[in-house]
Amino acid sequence: MEYPIGLVRNTSIHCLTPLRQNPPTGAKNVDALSREGDRCSIRSIFKAKKTSTVYSVNANLDKRLFEFLLIDFLDSEYRLKRLYRLSWKKFQEVKSRDKIMNAWYVLLSKKKLEKTEIVYVKTPYLNVDIVESVCN
């Protein structure tokens, strides 16, 4: 599986950057496309406890908006620290409703993050990056 990455232009994961493709202009909730055409929505986290919102036409989210949600955690210098991936099905399980905005978000609790797939973790002690085997 190739991971679409739209946020890693200035990080040390150069091997992941070529997998990124821009979505069509005006695409909603889609930030990148994989080479297979999978739609990916990307949410960046710096100090927040939840992701930014995902908007939908109706409250039930019966129409699939993307295939994957990528949640990237940034360090104090805005470099990628961790990257998680949620399938649409897992997003449906962990999403929370923002009634005022009429949208959805993911609360970043330990319980909900356990349902994600870890794609990337920066390891400061070894000065090495752990990246899932997408660079081969």
What confidence tens digit (pLDDT) does each residue in 3-52 have? 444 444 333 333 343 346 777 777 778 888 877 778 888 888 888 899 98
Helix-, strand-, coil-residue percentages of the chain, each rounded to 5: 10, 35, 55
Q: In this structure, is residue 136 part of a structural domain?
A: no
Helix (H) or strand (E) holding 113: helix 110-113
Q: In this structure, is residue 34 part of a structural domain?
A: yes
Residue 94 has phi, psi (to 5 degrees) of: -105, -5
Q: In this structure, is residue 2 part of a structural domain?
A: no
pLDDT bracket for residue 94 (50, 70, 90): very high
Q: In this structure, is residue 9 part of a structural domain?
A: no
**pLDDT at residue 90 in the model:** 93
Name the domain count of the chain: 1
Name the one residue in this structure whose structure tokens are 């890693």. Answer: 8
Q: Which domain holds residue 126?
A: 17-131
pLDDT tens-digit profile of 42-90?
888 888 899 988 887 666 667 888 899 989 888 888 888 888 999 999 9
**pLDDT at residue 124 in the model:** 63
Q: In this structure, is residue 78 part of a structural domain?
A: yes
28: nearest Cα among 68, 56, 3:
56
Q: In this structure, is residue 11 part of a structural domain?
A: no
Q: What is the pTM of this model?
A: 0.73
Q: In this structure, is residue 70 part of a structural domain?
A: yes
The alpha-carbon radius of gyration of the chain (Å, integer) is 15
**pLDDT at residue 128 in the model:** 47
Handedness of CA 132, 90, 8, 72 (dihedral sign): negative
Q: In this structure, is residue 3 part of a structural domain?
A: no
